[in-house]
């Protein structure tokens, strides 16, 4: 394990939720933690200083996108992805596997790797496990992810199983390709919605010397119930002394369910994507700012929220959206990012205080209400 990378559980709920601390070369972050998505070394519409003000402790960037532009060599010359975008805290880079299968053109997957054409200019790209590691080492994040094969769901069991087993073989190749001892690497559990495949994948990965483990292949429309079932089949078979990361999730109620299942780390584009589309999150439920009911509302988006947006009224921010002013999406995105950090902080405090289940039930009842 890298000497400056460490994870410790400080408190645990009887049901499985846990509060801990993740330590990296660029600082320590309390868990559970939510990483804003800085795909191209930027969180869409929000400068990095404002991202820090939301309470974020760690951000995620993407290998696929940064490899295509500006290229990992440019990022390396800029001091690594964190310094390149002006972020002083810990960073994580996704390996790009999901983007290969969701964005790239003419994808061909073999045992060697994924071969495809860029969605930007059609240029050919070869992404092998070794290349994914090499690119991420140049990007210089504190945590790199193994390259995995992602399968869109629903899919037949044979296809899911083949991808899961190939991902295990790629996991070994990623570990063998490492050359930067200060960079941690996480393995990724695959297996679709097949409980036995999830268990097999988790048990095989835990025998490999990863610093953490992710659950991949979810947040693809399977629904909360199916996601929880997949986590139940996975988490008990992962090491208790290493961080667990659920990739790409998601809605507040999904995060609550995953924390209850023992997940420590999250990322999702929803805070900024919804913010750009005038949907904001509050602890009373979702708010659709374009609704006429907010036209004359002089109250903030949420009472007690410390974010920049909540210094303004709902009426004003709604006006910005209707007028096509770019400040509207920016403010809504800042609020949503702040909401996610406040949510994570409340969940953590409840775990430490021994009242996680009570808070879980309270929040789920609120979030089940229709958007106002």
pLDDT truncated to tens, each residue of the chain (372 aa)?
Answer: 576 899 999 999 999 999 999 999 999 999 999 999 999 999 999 999 999 999 999 999 999 999 999 999 999 999 999 999 999 999 999 998 888 777 767 889 999 999 988 889 999 999 999 999 999 999 999 999 999 998 888 889 999 999 999 999 999 999 999 999 999 999 999 999 999 999 999 999 999 999 999 999 887 778 889 999 999 999 999 999 999 999 999 899 999 999 999 999 999 999 999 999 999 999 999 999 999 999 999 999 999 999 999 999 999 999 999 999 999 999 999 999 999 999 999 999 999 999 999 999 999 999 987 888
Give CA–CA dist 309/279, Å, rounded: 13
150 CA to centre of own chain: 16
What residue spans in the chain does CATH classification 3.20.20.105 cover? 8-268
- Residue 339 is predicted with a pLDDT of 98
237 touches 204 (CB < 8 A): no
Which residues contact residue 205 at a Cβ distance below 8 angstroms, ignoring those fewer than 6 apart? 168, 171, 187, 188, 189, 213, 238
> What distances in angstroms separate CA 317 from CA 54, 167, 295, one per listed residue?
18, 45, 9
Per the CB < 8 A criterion, the answer to whether 299 and 313 are in contact is yes
What is the reported pLDDT for 1?
58
b/e string for 249-288 if b means 16 or more Cβ within 10 A? bbbbebbbbbbbbbbbbbbbebbbebbbebbbbbbeebbb
Catalytic residues: 94, 267
Task: Say what the pTM is.
Answer: 0.96
Query: 8-268 belongs to which homologous superfamily?
Result: Queuine tRNA-ribosyltransferase-like (3.20.20.105)
């Amino acid at each position: 394990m890298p000497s400056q990378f460490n994870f410790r559980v400080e408190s645990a709920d009887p049901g499985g939720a846990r509060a801990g601390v993740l330590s990296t070369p660029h600082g320590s972050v309390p868990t559970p933690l939510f990483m804003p998505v800085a795909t191209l070394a930027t969180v869409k519409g929000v400068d990095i200083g404002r991202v820090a003000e939301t309470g974020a402790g760690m951000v995620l960037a993407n290998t696929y996108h940064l490899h295509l532009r500006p290229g990992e060599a440019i990022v390396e010359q800029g001091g690594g992805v964190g310094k390149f975008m002006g972020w002083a805290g810990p960073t994580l880079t996704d390996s790009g596997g999901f983007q290969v299968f969701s964005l790239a053109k003419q994808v061909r997957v073999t045992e060697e790797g994924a071969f495809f054409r860029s969605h930007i200019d059609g240029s050919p790209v070869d992404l092998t496990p070794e290349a994914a590691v090499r690119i991420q080492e140049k990007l210089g994040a504190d945590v790199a992810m193994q390259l995995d094969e992602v399968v869109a769901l629903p899919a037949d069991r044979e296809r899911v199983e083949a991808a899961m087993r190939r991902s295990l073989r790629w996991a070994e190749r990623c570990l063998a390709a490492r050359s930067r001892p200060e960079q941690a690497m996480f393995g990724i559990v695959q297996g679709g919605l097949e409980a036995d495949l999830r268990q097999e994948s988790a048990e095989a990965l835990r025998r490999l010397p990863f610093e953490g483990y992710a659950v991949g292949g979810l947040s693809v429309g399977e629904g909360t119930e199916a996601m929880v079932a997949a986590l139940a089949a996975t988490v008990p078979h992962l090491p208790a002394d290493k961080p667990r990361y659920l990739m790409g999730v998601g809605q507040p109620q999904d995060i609550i369910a995953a924390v209850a299942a023992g997940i420590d780390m999250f990322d999702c584009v929803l805070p900024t994507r919804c913010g750009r589309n005038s949907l904001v999150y509050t602890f009373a439920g979702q708010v659709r700012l374009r609704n006429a009911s907010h036209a004359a509302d002089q109250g903030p988006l949420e009472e007690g929220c410390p974010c920049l947006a909540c210094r303004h009224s709902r009426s004003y921010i709604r006006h910005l959206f209707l007028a096509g002013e770019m400040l509207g999406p920016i403010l809504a995105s800042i609020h949503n990012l702040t909401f996610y950090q406040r949510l994570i902080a409340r969940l953590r405090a409840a775990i430490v205080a021994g009242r996680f289940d009570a808070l879980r039930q309270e929040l789920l009842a609120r979030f089940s209400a229709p958007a106002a």
